Amino acid sequence: MEEREDITTSTTCGAVSEWRAVSDPKQAGWLFSQDLLHSNRNSINLFLSVDIRQDKEEQDQTLIKFYKRDNVQWTSPLRCKLLGDVASGSGVDRHMMSTVIFKLMSGFHINLGNAAITKVFEGEPDHLIPSVSESLLDNNMFAVAGRMIGHSFLHHGPSFPGLSPAIIHILFGGSLETTPVTIRDCPDLDIRDAVKMLDGDAELNEFDAIHQLSLSWDLPAPNATNRKWLSKKLLLHAMVLDCITWPTSRTVFFESYKVEDDGESNVMDVCRVSGYLKTFIENASPAELKSLIKFWIGWEVPATEMKVEIVEATLPTASTCFEKLRLPRHYKAYKAFRQDLCACISTSYSGFGCA
């Protein structure tokens, strides 16, 4: 223990700030975490206490409540305690970090829908993607997950294994054009079957289900010429378009206040502008799509519930905190809609164009 403290002390006094120049990722990560901890060593301690005498649901609720807190300096010194157990010291801290990562991988014993165990991530091992659930967004569970992963990294706990390479690629600034999306990144079995059939050599007369799926997403019917292109489009839709919560055809928002109106003009405005957005997404370049998502939610990884509102406004805006895109109802032509949207999403690196 003394040897480790000596290393830490000497490092934080000099070499820690040089973590950017270290070629070994593990060493650079360790130096970076030590730099953060050293810089905040005099901050007020964070105390995480879990009562192991409680049932699993109560213990999980304690963990979630701790990581749901806002305005917290997460790099402050952490002190963990297991109530009902005599263990103490760094061993408890390591146990707690292992526990939060295990919960992210296996699920929490809480009911945020119709399941006794709530999973934040789903899919195959090594191809996990965020679970599609409005209740997870409403309960801020993805912020909780990010804080848990960050805390474990900061305190040298276990990493979060199994994320899809496509998700990792985007998180580290990779372009959508080079994102390594594969069939294993799609947890929807129906879409998987459709993509597999298109990639195979099956006769086109067996493609009735794919035809219906393509029509539902405004894509052309499959044929011998477009089948490979269509398979990639279906995967893209599964990861982006299927995450969008579209406005109802009879709802328009006026200055952020919802107004219900049965007027035909409102119905037409909502349908028309929503259709413009779908057309934009289907035809956008990888760079445009990346900018749109960043403008919409604050980073380039599609969220599980990205909401759209049709509003009385001059230009498109976004509320990244609520993962909400607000589109003006006044557009009568796709060309004008696309021009304004492209101009707005180009601001995503200088404030996201928020209202």
- Phi, psi at residue 254, to the nearest 5°? -115, 110
Instruction: Count, in order, helices (H) and strands (E) of the chain.
Output: 13, 10
Q: Say how many domains are in the chain.
A: 3
247 and 231 in one domain?
Answer: no
Which of 237, 260, 277 is at the close of a domain?
A: 237
CATH number for position 343: 3.30.2410.10
Domain that holds residue 346: 241-350
DSSP E strands: which ranges in the chain?
Answer: 46-51, 78-83, 121-122, 129-130, 244-245, 251-254, 257-260, 306-312, 317-319, 324-328
- Phi, psi at residue 110, to the nearest 5°? -135, 155
Whether residue 217 is contained in a domain is answered as yes
Whether residue 165 is contained in a domain is answered as no
Mean pLDDT of the chain: 76
Distance CA 209, CA 219 (A): 13
Whether residue 317 is contained in a domain is answered as yes
Whether residue 163 is contained in a domain is answered as no
- What residue type is assigned to position 76 of the chain? S
pLDDT at 262: 46
pLDDT at 47: 94
Q: Check pLDDT > 80 for residue 110.
A: yes
Tell me the average pLDDT across 128-133. Answer: 80
DSSP 111-179: -SSS-SSB-SEESSTT-BEE---HHHHHTTHHHHHHHHHHHHHHTT----TTB-HHHHHHHTT--GGG-
DSSP code for 324: E
Q: Check pLDDT > 50 for residue 58.
A: yes
Query: Which band of pLDDT confidence, cut at 50, 70 and 90, is reported for residue 341?
Result: very high
106 and 68 in one domain?
Answer: yes
233 and 263 in one domain?
Answer: no
* Beta-bridge partners for 312: 254
HSE at residue 123, side-chain half, CA atoms within 13 A, is: 25
Query: What pTM was estimated for this model as a whole?
Result: 0.54
Distance CA 330, CA 42 (A): 54
State pLDDT tens for residues 169-178: 877 777 766 7
199 and 120 in one domain?
Answer: no
State pLDDT tens for residues 220-259: 666 666 666 776 666 666 666 556 676 654 444 443 434 4
Which of 195, 221, 237 is at the close of a domain?
A: 237
Containing H/E element for 35?
helix 25-39
Whether residue 22 is contained in a domain is answered as no
Whether residue 26 is contained in a domain is answered as no
99 and 203 in one domain?
Answer: no
345 and 251 in one domain?
Answer: yes
Which of 237, 252, 283 is at the close of a domain?
A: 237
Whether residue 4 is contained in a domain is answered as no
- What residue type is assigned to position 201 of the chain? D
State pLDDT tens for residues 185-216: 776 666 666 666 666 665 655 556 666 666 55
Tell me the average pLDDT across 144-164. Answer: 89
148 and 44 in one domain?
Answer: yes
Query: Which band of pLDDT confidence, cut at 50, 70 and 90, is reported for residue 10?
Result: very low
Whether residue 341 is contained in a domain is answered as yes
HSE at residue 87, side-chain half, CA atoms within 13 A, is: 16
Residue with the bigger pLDDT between 108 and 5: it is 108
308 and 230 in one domain?
Answer: no
Tell me the average pLDDT across 4-11. Answer: 40
331 and 249 in one domain?
Answer: yes
182 and 233 in one domain?
Answer: yes
